[in-house]
Every structure is written in structure tokens, then in C-alpha cells.
């Protein structure tokens, strides 16, 4: 039996899963209360003590956490072990100033890699496979997570990182890669390039594990057809460990959440009230096996639907749909998390008025952001070359804030439509969340 499909865990009964979760939750709450002053304070504010928590039925008594709490406690405020026990950090992309940093002990790295190994096995991976990892390596969790997971399964691992398509294709052909791990948009780009260059007959891919950004069912079918593979979705977030929080099996009907490590709740983003199975809500995670950075009731802002029914693959771990949207305004562009507020900060710092629009498009599977911003009346009398210089300046300020290239278009004063209600700052033309 493959080590990373353990039926005792992944096909356990609901009662068994609840028992594990309850026991682990009680221990985690007690530990964070005693080791992390910030948690203790938040619990005390609600009048909750560890001895009030007897199992997952009491989860809702606990305070929730958001990205703002993590930023506020940057860098070490939420660490639950001494620094000397930590061996790694990862960080979310695209945020500046107070970044969100997650810490890992060796035990945490092992658990995370095990989650990724489960995903690889669920996609048909064995030690005979050659896994090409083209997620970015570095602070981003994509490269490291898949790399570790692939090692655990015993696959030959190609640590390609992102970019350099010619080299990716060369290694893919020469080494006979069988499983491709990258963002769905990069997979689509690789597929297109392979078709254009007539290389389809030279690749041995059988499966792809794609995540980190939204993608549609149409995109899945396109990638599957053009590469002749089965494409699996995978979900995760840096704060909770990285890729592998949930993954798809051969049924391709929702992603199994690794419930022995994470408790999933669904809440109404406006009221915080629980949302029943089958309805849309914001996903909230509690990590119950992590040492360094256990998060209690972390609000992901990802909107999805949960399905607790046993899957045709035999797994009983609850399934989440693909994220169907976000309850905040975060955009994911080229795999980078972008908040419109970051763009606004750059514009303000450079002396522009708050009249701007962010237009996101996808062309040939490559995302593009254009920022249109109104000039002040004084700037409007500038010469064309002065305007071009200003645009260039903004492009570079945005690049250093976001880490990605944005087109900038300066427009005449009062040309961006005013709104009577909430200004519509973002026009996302990619239609990513349609199922």
C-alpha cells in the first residue's frame, strides 16, 4: 500500500475524524493560550479559557484571526515555540511593509510535505514518476511544498522553479517528466507552446497538479486535451502551511481537506454565523497539528462550498469546491497576491488623486494588469514626453511594491467614471470564478 494513501486516516469514519480533531483542538488551544500572549489576550477579551474547549463543538467560542492580526504580530508575535525550534519561514507574495510570515519546525515541514505527498499520490504518483516542479522556489510555498512532497513519494524531482519555458520544455522531454506541478495559467501556456512547436509526441506527461490561483473547468479541459493528461486542482495558503491543505482525487469532484491536520468551518463573511453544507461561505481553518505557527479559526476570505459526503474514491475527508470568489478584494495575478490598496498607496505616494481603475485581463493565458489613473489638472498641461516619463516612474514604483509589471495609463482629469456608491476600482475581465 502506498505510504501516502493511508486508508486508516483518509477513509476514517466521521466519528473517528471528529474524535481526532477534538482531541487535537483541545491540546492546541491550551498550548497557544499558554505560549502566545496575543492568543491569550484575544481569548480573554471574549471570556474564553482553554477549559471551556472540550471538542470541535466548542470551536465557535474561540476568536477568529485575519491577515491583519498576522500583519500586526509581524514577525514573531504568533510563534508558539522558541525560535531555536524553527527551521524555515515562508511568506505570502506581493504584500509590502508588514508581510505575512509563517514559521515551521522540522515536524511542521514534514507534515506539510506529507500533505503534498498525499496530493501527488491522489494524482496517480508513485516512486516511478518524474515530477517537474515549476512553481516558484523561495519565499513562495509552491516550489518547496511540491519539492518536499515529491521527495517523500520517492519520485525523481526536477526542481525547475518558474519561468524559462525553453528550459522547462527541454527537461520535460529529455527526462521524461510524467507529472507537472505549476499554476494553471503556466500549464496552459506550456500546453500552447507545446502545441505550437509540435512537441506533443515527445512528452510523457500523464498528470498535472495545478493550483495557487483560480481556474475554470473550461481551462481544465483545454489543458487536459492539449497535453493528454489528467489535471488535478490543489489548494492551500501560506498562513496554513502552503499547497496541500486540500487536493483533488481522480473523481475531480472537489478537493479533500486534510482533516487530520486542519479543521474547516464555513461562515457567513458578514455575520460570522455558520453556513450549512451545500451553501456558499467563507472558509475558516484551524490547524491542529502544527508546532510553530498554529492558527486558530483563520479567516481565509476564500468563498467555497463544503461537501461532507464520502467520495467515490473512498476518501471521507470533507471536500471543498474550487474557491468561488473572495470576500475581500485580493486579486491573484500571475500567481502574485495583489491588493488594490497597495496600488492606491503607490498612486497617493506619487501625488496622484484617488481616481483610478485597475483592469485585469487574460490574453493567451497570460494575465495583464493595467492601472489607469487621472492626472491632476497641473500634470495635464505637461508635454507628452513628461507624461511618458511619469508613466514610466509609476510602472517602476508599482513593480517595487507588487513585484510584478503593471501597464500604466495616465488619463485626463475627470475621465474615470464617478460612482455614487462604492467606487468600482477593479475590473477583472478574466471571469475566473465561473465554474
Residues that bind ligand DLL (CB under 6 A): 92-93, 135, 141-142, 211-214, 233-238, 242-243, 300, 302, 322-323, 332, 337
* Residue 408: CB minimum distance to ligand DLL, A: 25
Cα separation, 384 vs 380, whole angstroms? 10
* DSSP 8-state symbol, 211: E
Q: Which is nearer to ligand DLL, 24 or 322 (CB)?
A: 322
Shortest separation between residue 251's beta carbon and ligand DLL, angstroms:
16
| Between 257 and 410, CB nearer to ligand DLL | 257
**CA atoms of 88 and 224, how far apart (whole Å):** 35
In the bound complex, what is the minimum distance in angstroms from residue 238's beta carbon to ligand DLL?
A: 3
| Cα 118 to Cα 248: distance, rounded to the nearest angstrom | 10
Q: Identify which of residues 12 and 70 has a Cβ nearer to ligand DLL in the complex.
A: 70
d(CA 154, CA 191): 26
Q: Please state the closest distance from residue 113 (CB atom) to ligand DLL, in A.
A: 13
- The least CB distance from residue 300 to ligand DLL, in Å, is 5
Q: Are 293 and 79 in contact (CB under 8 A)?
A: yes
For residue 240, the number of C-alpha atoms closer than 13 Å in the C-beta half-sphere is 29
Whichever of 185 and 337 has its CB closer to ligand DLL, that residue is 337
Nearer to ligand DLL, 419 or 435 (CB): 435
Q: How far is the CB of 365 from ligand DLL (least distance, A)?
A: 15
Q: Which is nearer to ligand DLL, 115 or 410 (CB)?
A: 115
The minimum distance between CB 289 and ligand DLL, in angstroms, equals 18
Q: Is 189 helix (H, G, I), strand (E, B) or coil?
A: helix
CB 228 within 8 A of CB 205: yes
The neighbouring-strand residues paired with 286 are 263
In the bound state with ligand DLL, the residue whose beta carbon lies nearer, of 29 and 266, is 266
- Cell, residue 201: 509526441
> Burial, 57: exposed, middle or buried (Cβ in 10 Å; 0-12, 13-18, 19+)?
exposed
- Of 6 and 91, nearer to ligand DLL (C-beta) is 91
DSSP sequence for 337-358: EE-HHHHHHHHHHTT--S-EEE
- Look-up: residue for cell 488594490? 340
For residue 208, give Cα distances in angstroms to 82, 153, 205, 416. Answer: 38, 16, 8, 42
H/E element, 381? none
Which of residues 139 and 359 has its CB atom nearest to ligand DLL in the complex?
A: 139
Helix (H) or strand (E) holding 45: helix 37-45
Round to whole Å and give the CA distance between 103 and 36.
Answer: 14
Nearest approach, Cβ of residue 188 and ligand DLL (Å): 14
Residue nearest to ligand DLL (CB): 211
Task: Determine the distance from the C-alpha atom of residue 146 to the mean position of all C-alpha atoms in its chain, rounded to a whole number.
Answer: 14
**What letter would DSSP give residue 65?**
B
Amino acid at each position: 500500500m502506498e505510504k501516502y494513501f493511508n486508508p486508516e486516516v483518509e477513509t476514517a469514519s466521521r466519528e473517528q475524524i471528529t474524535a481526532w480533531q477534538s482531541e487535537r483542538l483541545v491540546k492546541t488551544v491550551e498550548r497557544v493560550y499558554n505560549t502566545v500572549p496575543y492568543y491569550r489576550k484575544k481569548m480573554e477579551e471574549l471570556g474564553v479559557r482553554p477549559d471551556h474547549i472540550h471538542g470541535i463543538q466548542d470551536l465557535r467560542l474561540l476568536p477568529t484571526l485575519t491577515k491583519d492580526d498576522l500583519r500586526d504580530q509581524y514577525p514573531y508575535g504568533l510563534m508558539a515555540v522558541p525560535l531555536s525550534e524553527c527551521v524555515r519561514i515562508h511568506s505570502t507574495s506581493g504584500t509590502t511593509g508588514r508581510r505575512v510570515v509563517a514559521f515551521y519546525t522540522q515536524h511542521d515541514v514534514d507534515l506539510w510535505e506529507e500533505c503534498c505527498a498525499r496530493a501527488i499520490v491522489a494524482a496517480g504518483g508513485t516512486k516511478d514518476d518524474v515530477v517537474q516542479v515549476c512553481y516558484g522556489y523561495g519565499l513562495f510555498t509552491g516550489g518547496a511544498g511540491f519539492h518536499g512532497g515529491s521527495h517523500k513519494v520517492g519520485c525523481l524531482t526536477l526542481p525547475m522553479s518558474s519561468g524559462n519555458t525553453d528550459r522547462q520544455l527541454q527537461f520535460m522531454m529529455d527526462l521524461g517528466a510524467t507529472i507537472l506541478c505549476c499554476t494553471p495559467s503556466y500549464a496552459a501556456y506550456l500546453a500552447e507552446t507545446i502545441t505550437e512547436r509540435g512537441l506533443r509526441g515527445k512528452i510523457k506527461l500523464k498528470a498535472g497538479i495545478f493550483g495557487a490561483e483560480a481556474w475554470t473547468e473550461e481551462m481544465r479541459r483545454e489543458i487536459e486535451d492539449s497535453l493528454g493528461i489528467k489535471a488535478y486542482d490543489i489548494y492551500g495558503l501560506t498562513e496554513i502551511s502552503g499547497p496541500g491543505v486540500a487536493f483533488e482525487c481522480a473523481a475531480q469532484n472537489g478537493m479533500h481537506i486534510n482533516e487530520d491536520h486542519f479543521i474547516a468551518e464555513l461562515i457567513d463573511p458578514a455575520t460570522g454565523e455558520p453556513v450549512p453544507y451545500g451553501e456558499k461561505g467563507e472558509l475558516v481553518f484551524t490547524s491542529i497539528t502544527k508546532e510553530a505557527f498554529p492558527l486558530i479559526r483563520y479567516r481565509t476570505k476564500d468563498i467555497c462550498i463544503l461537501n461532507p459526503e464520502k467520495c467515490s474514491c473512498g476518501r471521507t475527508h470533507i471536500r471543498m469546491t474550487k474557491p468561488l470568489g473572495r470576500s475581500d478584494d485580493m486579486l491573484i495575478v500571475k500567481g502574485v497576491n495583489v491588493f488594490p490598496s497597495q496600488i492606491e498607496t503607490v498612486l497617493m505616494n506619487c501625488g496622484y488623486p484617488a481616481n483610478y481603475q485597475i483592469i485585469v485581463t487574460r490574453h493567451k493565458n497570460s494575465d495583464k494588469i493595467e492601472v489607469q489613473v487621472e492626472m491632476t489638472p497641473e500634470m495635464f498641461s505637461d508635454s507628452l514626453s513628461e507624461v511618458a516619463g511619469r508613466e514610466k516612474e509609476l510602472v517602476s514604483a508599482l513593480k517595487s511594491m507588487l513585484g510584478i509589471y503593471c501597464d500604466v495609463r495616465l488619463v485626463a482629469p475627470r475621465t474615470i467614471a464617478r460612482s455614487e456608491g462604492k467606487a468600482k476600482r477593479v475590473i477583472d475581465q478574466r471571469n475566473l470564478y465561473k465554474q
